[in-house]
Amino acid sequence: MPRTRIKDEGPHPVDTYVGARVKSRRLMLGLSQEELAHAIGLTFQQVQKYERGTNRISVSRLVDICKALRVPYGYFLDNAAATTKKAALRGVSDNKQELLEGDPMTKKDVLELVRAYEGIRTPKLKKQLLEMAKAMANSEKKG
């Protein structure tokens, strides 16, 4: 997909996808936009623009973000190609949030659950919670 599009009506789908992944990871760690901005030497407004996909994130800035959010570089690009293909098939003027549908890491309750799980320090308790969640999910499938 070429970088310039006829009827360019907003951010490129990949920029939107990467920005949403930044936001998801930031929220998973319980960081504010201001805290992330401080860690990478920017203003929170710039982080907002990155998260919306309004401003593209350069590779060097993405490296800074990866360090601040403690993830490997590929974290933000996983499934980006598939996202671009879906957007091309649907048309770029569709709702940009639809690009992330099906990604549970964009849901607030999932992020809260992950944060709470990460807050448990006892490995045995973590394993018990995981087993309980699996059992509950399996009972939902059967019922």
Q: Distance between CA 23 and CA 21 in Å, rounded?
A: 5
Token pair in block for residue 21: 């992944």
Per-residue pLDDT, 99: 47
Q: Report the CATH number of the 1-102 domain.
A: 1.10.260.40
Distances (CA, A) of 52 to 32, 36, 86, 89: 15, 15, 18, 21
Per-residue pLDDT, 143: 64
The ranges assigned to domains in the chain are 1-102, 107-143
pTM beyond 0.85, yes or no? no
Helix/strand/coil for 2: coil
Per-residue pLDDT, 97: 47
Successive 10-residue mean pLDDT values, the chain, 143 residues:
56 88 89 96 96 94 96 84 54 46 69 86 93 89 74
